[in-house]
Structure 1
Amino acid sequence: MATGLALHVGLNSVDPARYEGWEGTLVACENDAHDMARLARTAGFESTVLLTPDGTVANVTAVLADAAARLGPGDIMLVTYSGHGGQLPDATGSDDEPDAFDETLVLYDRQFLDDEVHQAFGAFADDVRIVTFFDCCHSGSSIELPGGPEADGTARYMPEPEQRQLYARDREFYTELRRTLAEAAPRNGAGPDVLLVSACQDNQVASDGDVNGAFTEALLRVWDDGAFKGGYRDFHRAIQRRLPPTQSPNLYLTGTPDQKFLGQRPFTV
């Protein structure tokens, strides 16, 4: 019998001591994490929830590493993230970022590069199904593989002045981090098979809300307490129809996920 593990991260703020005084206050991200965990547990997943101060790079990577050690072929890993998204200039000049930016998850203590997400997923065994739902800005390709109009309401977006300030401060750190990640990458270019459904495209921003983020709210309505029928592509399209053109959810694949997997009803363990 297959095993399903899930990680749900929701950050309503970040550590201002690590972000030059910026707190990044949001309203609905912890609610999103709780609601996605409830959905996942009902579907048969064993869930871990990391909220605001616990949403650190060390905690996220530790949970993913533990899951990678536990799961084998045929099992499934679900990751949901709700919080700010950011972008950092891709100073390496690599061709894996057509927009010349690395997308980031703005975790409590620092930005987590899409390349780091990719590396964490690369530790999973072949044929582990990996599914991610990211409710943040610039999330269209945030799982990585080797400027649109603003959304309504509060955007889950680190403001550009703060991004520039932090990049100037941390440029050497991220340059060395990227070098280390590149050295550790598989030489044959192979990578994990991952399915991402994201809140928006890389050049768009995602809306926060009073109870849930706009993307998570649409997802929960489409799921309808398990009444939804159809595969992941159908699920993505149904969520997309509930959101405006300024926030167009993306379905993004890395590797070569099995077509049978893509056709499964979402959250099938």
Structure 2
Amino acid sequence: MDRAELADFLRRARTRLSPCDVGLRAGPRRRTPGLRREEVAQLTGMSTDYYTRLEQRRGSHPSRQMLTALARALRLTDVERDHLFHLAGQEPPRPGGSLDHIRPGLLLILDRLHDLPAAVLSDWGEVLAQNTMSVALSGDYTGANVIHRWFTAPDTRSLTPPEDHQAHGSAFVANLRAVTAARPDDPGPAALVSQLRATSREFEELWQSHNVVAHRPSPKRILHPVVGALDLDCEGLLSDDHGQRLVVHSARPGTQTYERLELLRVIGLQDLTPSP
């Protein structure tokens, strides 16, 4: 681990960003350019003290998970991310597999979507990032796999009308089959398929049907516990390699869903569900 070079790289990467670049409010006038150390710590989920020690050449070896979080918070390109790993004495993620490093372009757009639910997902269902509206709409799924949760945690289906469950499940499985065929050596999707075939009878039956389809955003109905039923339009923006997509939900102005989505934006993450 090259502590001096790592500290210099982190400091330079931090100072080239502004709060609005990462979806934060600028707040009071700043004496120095860039993000503050505590803001980087907030974005990565580490303590300010630990991040400060890294910039002061005193930090312990960061884990791979921590390096991934730093690369995401500092909006590093793939080349810069690999350089960060090397400075920390770690091997970068190998090419050809699933990517959990979000494309900076997708993150840039996500940071600027304040009034619409938006999230970045991998092509096999890994939730890589969500904005506040996305969390308010469907809960915090960052780090989880939506396909795994759909077939193993029935409570996650409560936001979807029962009559839509079959279509959702079929689309999930068909898309996953297409991904595993396209990347047979990628351990992530393969392990997910193996686990779900062993634990979910519903998944196994759908898998045996051998339907294949690439993911296509489509209108979605959601039963929100506070604002009520929502009929949302869904659009997706693919990364260059099609391995990640930014999914944005919206409603047509003048509709009841539009008004309810506005209410959700005001409510935010407040828990307004009635007590039992």
TM-score bracket for this pair, using the shorter chain length: under 0.3
TM-score, with length taken from structure 2: 0.21
Q: Which has the higher strand share?
A: 1
Bigger proportion of residues as helix: 2
Q: Rg bigger for which structure?
A: 2
